[in-house]
Amino acid sequence: MNNPFPNQKAMLHSQKQRTLFEEAKSYASEYLDDVLDRNVFPTENALENLNFFDEAIPDIPGDPAEMLRILHEYGSPATVASTGGRYFGMVIGSAFPPVMAAKWLATVWDQISALHVTSPISSKLESVCEKWLIDLLGLPENSVAGFVSGTSMATMCGLAAARYELLNRAGWDVINNGLFGAPPIRVVLGAEAHSTVYKALAMLGLGKERVETVPIDSQGRMIAEAVPNLDNNTLLILQAGNVNSGSFDPFDEICEKANQANAWVHIDGAFGLWAAASNQTKHFTYGIEKADSWSVDGHKTLNTPYDSGVILCKHAHALVSAMQATGAYILYGEHRDGMLYTPEMSARGRAIEIWATLKILGKSGVEELVNVLCTRAQQFAIEISAAGFQVLNDIDFNQVVVACPNPEQTTAILDHLQKSGECWCGAGNWHNTPVIRISVCSWATTAEDITRSVQAFIIAKRECSD
Ligand SMILES: Cc1ncc(COP(=O)(O)O)c(C=O)c1O
């Protein structure tokens, strides 16, 4: 019989020789040598060179070494240096080198975390991380965790569990009957809930516009006294870490009220939930344990490599019911089966990197990481204020919101800054003002990186006013 896959011999040879792995290692080393000092955003030339990839799909097999070389030659310079110390865009964490190394090993394992039978090691590390996260964040002991791509997906899982539970209480089976004819669910959230919360509401058929919006204070925190009367068919969505200001909703007071009404509380804690792991910032998260579900990212504050989000839920039955999937070939067993807690079936072993990060940092390392990010954000705010920029937010956590005297200047300075390659910050609009958003989210950011970045702001300001 003909060999069904003509490249098989070459692939087996490659696996035995490992030359490509060695080459990849050497390209990666070159990349790492450069990443702390290079332009944060790719140069014009690097972007131009991306046109190299515009070709028709090859008709015949190509040379693997050449493929790898091309990827490094044209791909590496066109990356954003978010693993370095001067990237402050969105809320994007870096990745600890030892954890990248663990991820390399796990990439070669190529595990599917769906079931214990598809990957006992993923199953084990998910169980371990579940316990560790509950301990570190001070959440209820019997909570369960699902390992997903990020907070967008984690929030969708939390809201799906809430939808299941609230309707179940009302005698409605949403899994089998959907929402057609279902009793209504009230959704209450803060006026600055993250856009991914609205996305999740839309995907779950709960609607973006039929929500009750609670007023917020100047920092984007929900005003506790303004929360409407709640009841047991209410889904209340709170926030640990406003995407602009980094502020925290007053959880204790609001959760108390929600618990009395038997409402479901979900907390979007994408980057801010980690405040619970530090004595310096813990007070912002008092009361989070009274919620029902929480979404949080590894790939932001914790600096695990992408992609890594976690849904934590106090009600295992509700989450598992919302995520249920059956099939004759799906072999659930007595050990942890990860897909019970996530929408995906095939998914890489994401808990491996969370485990690796927590293993090397320990509780005190996570606390130190959180503290350092906060300290650097404060340094940024102090130095940039001294340079004549206006800081609009209280620096409670890792976010700094900056404005110039007028919106045109803000836009021009940001544009100059982004092109400078010295640092990268994103645009935002906060309380109807165009702003520059700074998110200090990388373990690699040093005090010198902050000063150098502030210098870039000063130069941009000078050149924009010339
Ligand atoms: C508060 C908040 N929620 C949700 C998200 C979305 O998270 P992800 O990109 O991991 O899906 C973000 C992203 O920055 C965020 O800041």
Are 163 and 308 part of one and the same domain? Answer: yes
Which ligand 1 atom minimizes the distance to the CA of 152?
11
Which tens digits make up the pLDDT trace of 363-408?
999 999 999 999 999 999 999 999 999 999 999 999 999 999 899 9
* 90 located within any domain: no
Q: How much of the chain, in percent, has pLDDT values that exceed 90?
A: 93
Q: Are residues 65 and 106 in the same domain?
A: no
Shared domain for 240 and 149, answered yes or no, is: yes
The atom of ligand 1 lying closest to the CA of 91 is: 14
Mean pLDDT of 263-272: 98
Least confident of 323-327, 404-408, 421-425: 323-327
* Predicted confidence (pLDDT) at residue 8 exceeds the cutoff of 90: no
444 HSE (CA, 13 A, CB side)? 20
| Among candidate residues 437, 438, 418, 449, the one with its CA nearest the CA of residue 377 | 438
Atom of ligand 1 nearest to the CA of 241: 1
Written as one string, the DSSP assignment of 89-139 is: STT-----HHHHHHHHHHHHHT---S-TTT-HHHHHHHHHHHHHHHHHHT-
DSSP 387: T
- Return the structure tokens found at 140: 């209820």
Query: Does ligand 1 lie within 6 Å of residue 393's CB atom?
Result: no
What local confidence, expressed as pLDDT, does residue 91 receive? 97
* Predicted local distance difference test score (pLDDT) of residue 465: 87
pLDDT at 299: 98
**Residue 1 scores a pLDDT above 60:** no
Is residue 23 located within the same domain as residue 134? no
User: pLDDT at position 13, please?
Assistant: 87
Stretch 241-260: mean pLDDT = 98
Q: Tell me the pLDDT band of 12, cut-offs 50, 70 and 90.
A: confident
Q: Where a domain ends, among 358, 393, 411?
A: 358
Q: pTM of the entire structure?
A: 0.97
Q: Is the CB of 318 under 6 A from ligand 1?
A: no
Closest atom of ligand 1 relative to the 90 alpha carbon:
14
Domain with 242, as residue range(s), is 102-358
For ligand 1, is residue 206 a contact (CB within 6 Å)? no
Which of 242, 243, 249 maximizes ligand 1 atoms within 8 Å of its Cβ, making it the mutation to test the pocket?
A: 243
> Residue 305's pLDDT band (boundaries 50, 70, 90)?
very high
Q: Which atom of ligand 1 is nearest to the CA of 243?
A: 16
pLDDT (tens digit per residue) in 55-106: 999 999 899 999 999 999 999 999 999 999 999 999 999 999 999 999 999 9
Q: Tell me what pLDDT residue 33 has.
A: 95
Instruction: State the closest ligand 1 atom to the C-alpha of 92, by its place in the atom list counted from 1.
Output: 14
Q: Considering 27, 51, 81, which residue would you say is the last residue of a domain? A: 81
Distance of CA 153 from the midpoint of ligand 1 (Å): 10
Residue type, 360: I
Both 349 and 377 in one domain: the answer is no
Is the alpha carbon torsion for 338, 342, 344, 348 positive or negative?
A: negative
The backbone torsions φ and ψ at residue 426, rounded to the nearest 5 degrees and listed phi first, read -105, 170
Is 337 inside any structural domain? yes
Question: pLDDT (tens digit, 9 = 90+) per residue, 336-359?
Answer: 999 999 999 999 999 999 999 999
151 close to ligand 1 (CB < 6 Angstrom)? yes
Closest residue (by CA) to atom 12 of ligand 1?
270
Q: What is the mean pLDDT of the chain?
A: 96
Q: Which atom of ligand 1 is nearest to the CA of 153?
A: 11
Q: Are residues 173 and 289 in the same domain?
A: yes
* pLDDT reported for residue 325: 84
Residue-wise pLDDT tens digits, 29-38: 999 999 999 9
254 and 344 co-located in one domain: yes
**Are residue 149 and residue 295 in the same domain, yes or no?**
yes
295 or 17, higher pLDDT: 295
Check which CATH number belongs to the domain holding 302 and give it. Answer: 3.40.640.10
Residue 94 lies in a domain: no
Check if 150 has its Cβ closer than 6 Å to any atom of ligand 1: yes
Model confidence band, residue 330 (pLDDT cutoffs 50, 70, 90)? confident
Does 186 share its domain with 212? Answer: yes
Q: Is residue 420 part of a domain?
A: yes
* Residue 115: pLDDT band with limits 50, 70, 90: very high
Minimum CA distance residue for ligand 1 atom 16: 243
- 72 and 198 share a domain? no
Give residue 2's pLDDT. Answer: 58
- Asked if residue 141 belongs to a domain, the reply is yes
Please report, for the domain that includes residue 368, its CATH number: 3.90.1150.10
**Would the CB of 270 count as within 6 Å of ligand 1?**
yes
Question: What local confidence, expressed as pLDDT, does residue 340 receive?
Answer: 97
- Protein residue closest via CA to atom 13 of ligand 1: 91
- Residue 445 domain flag: yes
Closest protein CA for atom 10 of ligand 1:
150
Indicate if ligand 1 lies below 6 Å from the C-beta of 196: yes
Angle at 269 (CA atoms; ends 266, 273), nearest 5 degrees: 120
Q: Give the confidence band of 3 by pLDDT, cuts at 50, 70, 90.
A: low
Q: Kindly give the distance from the C-alpha atom of residue 194 to the centroid of ligand 1, in angstroms, as a whole number.
A: 7
253 falls in which pLDDT band (50, 70, 90)?
very high
CB 392 within 8 A of CB 400: no
- Same domain for 296 and 318, yes or no, is yes
Q: Is residue 320 part of a domain?
A: yes
The pair of structure tokens assigned to 187 is 């959704």
Q: How close is the Cα of 128 to the center of ligand 1, in Å?
A: 24
d(CA 417, CA 413): 6
Residue 174 lies in a domain: yes
Last residue of a domain, one of 358, 378, 411: 358
Is ligand 1 within 6 A of the CB of residue 268? Answer: yes
Domain count, the chain: 3
Instruction: Please state the atom number of ligand 1 nearest to the C-alpha of residue 240.
Output: 1
Q: Is the pLDDT at 4 greater than 70, yes or no?
A: no
Mean pLDDT on 118-137: 98
90 lines ligand 1 (CB under 6 A): yes
The alpha carbon of 196 and the centre of ligand 1 are apart by a number of angstroms equal to 7
Task: Please tell me if the CB atom of residue 152 comes closer than 6 angstroms to any atom of ligand 1.
Answer: yes
> Domain check: are 350 and 368 in the same one?
no
The predicted-structure confidence for 178-202, as pLDDT tens digits, reads as follows: 999 999 999 999 999 999 999 999 9
